[in-house]
Amino acid sequence: MRSDAAAPADGPLLTRLSQWACDLRPTDVPERVRALATSQILAQIAAIRAGLRHSRSAALLRAYGPIHQPDPRRCAVVLGALGSWLNLDDTAYAGHLAPSTVAVPLAWALAGRTDGRSLVNAVVVANECAARITAAATLGPLRGQSALHTHLAGAVAGRLASEGASARRWANAMSLAFAAPPWPAMHAFLGGDAKLVHVVTPVRAAMDACDAAAAGLTGPPDVLEHPRGFLARFATVPLPDLVTEELGRRWHTDTLSFKLRPGGPGIDAAVDCAVELHREVRGTPVAGVEIAASVYTLFAGRLAEGYEAGPDTPLSALLLGTGYPVATALLTGDLRVEDFDSRELRDPARWALARTVRLVHDPQMSRQLFASVAPFGAALRRAGERARPWLSQFVGAELAELALVAAEEADSDETFREATKATPARVTVRLADGRSVTRERSVPLGAAGPDTRRRHGELVRGKFLAQGGTVAVADSFGAGLTDTTAGELSALLYAALTEDR
């Protein structure tokens, strides 16, 4: 049977999505998709380890308990929060998926309730459900980590796939979860510690919705598409067809981008360039740094600017900005978790260099951004002219025209098998001796594209080892993961999260 054969051809979106998700079996998933999900599991474990290494983790653990708890619902909350606050969570078109789509199945597997094959399958199912619902609302006021509704879908799907729940329970749990989706206040998100716990609310709400559905409570199955439903409020340009279109043939897991260093997704290419330039500028006084980038990077930078206060900048704003991360990479040749903690943040040389960083817009880079599948291109191609009002509000009328043309002219990858995420940057460093050195990158290291498809296993292995994981554990993540029993998997995941090399 085809993986999408059991999905009804019509009816409410959640009914159709839930039936497909409930019926999906590991053998229905292409091998390349399973391999990406396996890498995603190790990558998110690395992100959780990174969260544990930061000094702020102590407060989070005091609030919510340790990473390994008897109740997987509580464990899921802690794993989700730890793996998200440093922007090391892996993304897709569309959404920051892993803090729910991986963390929740991990919690069930840690508790010894699923084997390796079921874990990978649960992650794929959760990815597909969360990414599709997020895609339907991508052209709206919330995006990236502020789109907390991603984790409502991801957490419900991750749990129910791990439990083998019925399609009826799936649909009711999803509907109950989306009855009151969270809407963050960006001032709190950027100006304090709220971002450190932003995943807690949607994951907890999803767990409650699953419990309510198990007890027999119900919700309207058309809560997504109803005129007074989710998309009507959360999407400027609703794209409801994306929730169920090409189920079992188009895999959003194919669009995964792996975060290899902390920091917002808009800065990745600039940091990659700065790491390369470190060898050339080391020991030479720098007169100034210019970063040419797309409107996406400039938008994130503008959000962070209002919260900049040198070493006292709130962590969430620091991760979103460009100056400090690029200055750190130029000076040290890397960007690590420790660079966002107290001692390194007090380094005056980094802040002196950060103050020389100038961010400028490159229209051609914006064209590359909007032509790629992630983070917006696929949605823009689907919306067409309907997206103009949203684009005008987001980037202005002139760039809206550029974006629509770029999206229309781009090669359409309807299957997502060749998906890319272009967030380009060009870093030019002016040296005090009069010389200038430049590096440019279109697709950041680890982002969706040919390089990542070819060697994602190698890249996430490096991410795991960089966060202190052991070689022995890293070697256990691969094709053999699906053959582990529930007991073996629980022990392996505990070691992956706790053992240090």
Residue 4 pLDDT more than 70?
no
Judge residue 193's burial from the number of C-beta atoms within 10 Å of its C-beta, 0-12 exposed, 13-18 middle, 19 or more buried. middle
H or E element at residue 427: strand 425-431
User: Among 103, 43, 44, which residue's Cα sits nearest to residue 74?
Assistant: 103
| Distances 101 to 95, 315, 339, 388 between C-alpha atoms, Å | 11, 24, 28, 31
The encoded tokens of residue 98 equal 């892993």
How many percent of the chain have pLDDT more than 90? 82
User: Among 444, 117, 35, which residue's Cα sits nearest to residue 269?
Assistant: 444
Q: What is the pLDDT of residue 411?
A: 63
pLDDT band at residue 288 under the 50/70/90 scheme: very high
- The CA distance from 500 to 329, in Å, is 25
What is the per-residue burial (b if ≥16 Cβ within 10 Å, else e) of 427-438?
Answer: bbbbeeeeeebe
Name the residue with tokens 């569309």: 94
Lowest-confidence pick of 4-18, 36-50, 52-66, 332-346:
4-18
Are residues 232 and 21 in contact, defined by beta-carbon separation less than 8 angstroms?
A: no
pTM of the model: 0.95
- The stretch 83-109 carries a mean pLDDT of 95
User: What DSSP designation does 252 have?
Assistant: G
Residue 342 pLDDT more than 90?
no
Tell how strand 286-293 and strand 357-361 pair up: parallel
355 phi-psi bin (left φ>0, alpha ψ -120 to 50, beta other): alpha
Find the angle CA(300)-CA(304)-CA(309) to the nearest 5 degrees: 160
H or E element at residue 289: strand 286-293
Residue 374 pLDDT more than 80?
yes
Are residues 370 and 380 in contact, defined by beta-carbon separation less than 8 angstroms?
A: yes
pLDDT band at residue 8 under the 50/70/90 scheme: low
Coil, helix or strand at residue 486? helix
- The CA distance from 446 to 257, in Å, is 6
In one letter, which amino acid is 344?
Answer: E
β strands within 297-403, DSSP E: 357-361
User: What DSSP designation does 309 have?
Assistant: B
Are residues 287 and 252 in contact, defined by beta-carbon separation less than 8 angstroms?
A: no
Are residues 231 and 341 in contact, defined by beta-carbon separation less than 8 angstroms?
A: no
Between 45 and 381, residue with greater pLDDT: 45
Residue 284 pLDDT more than 80?
yes
The encoded tokens of residue 33 equal 């998709």
Half-sphere CA count of 72, side-chain side, radius 13 A: 23
Q: What is the pLDDT of residue 5?
A: 42
- The CA distance from 190 to 307, in Å, is 7
Residue 1 pLDDT more than 60?
no
Q: What is the pLDDT of residue 305?
A: 87
The encoded tokens of residue 352 equal 């002196």
The encoded tokens of residue 109 equal 């597997």
pLDDT digits (tens, 9 = 90+) for 459-494: 999 999 999 999 999 999 877 899 999 999 999 999
Q: What is the pLDDT of residue 405?
A: 87
User: Among 326, 318, 399, which residue's Cα sits nearest to residue 356?
Assistant: 326
In one letter, which amino acid is 101?
Answer: T
Find the angle CA(276)-CA(278)-CA(284) to the nearest 5 degrees: 145
- The stretch 259-284 carries a mean pLDDT of 93
User: Among 118, 48, 104, 42, which residue's Cα sits nearest to residue 76?
Assistant: 104
Those residues whose C-beta lies under 8 Å from the C-beta of residue 499, and which sit 6 or more positions away, are: 469, 470, 473
Residue 6 pLDDT more than 70?
no
Are residues 149 and 181 in contact, defined by beta-carbon separation less than 8 angstroms?
A: yes
Residue 414 pLDDT more than 80?
no
Q: What is the pLDDT of residue 7?
A: 58
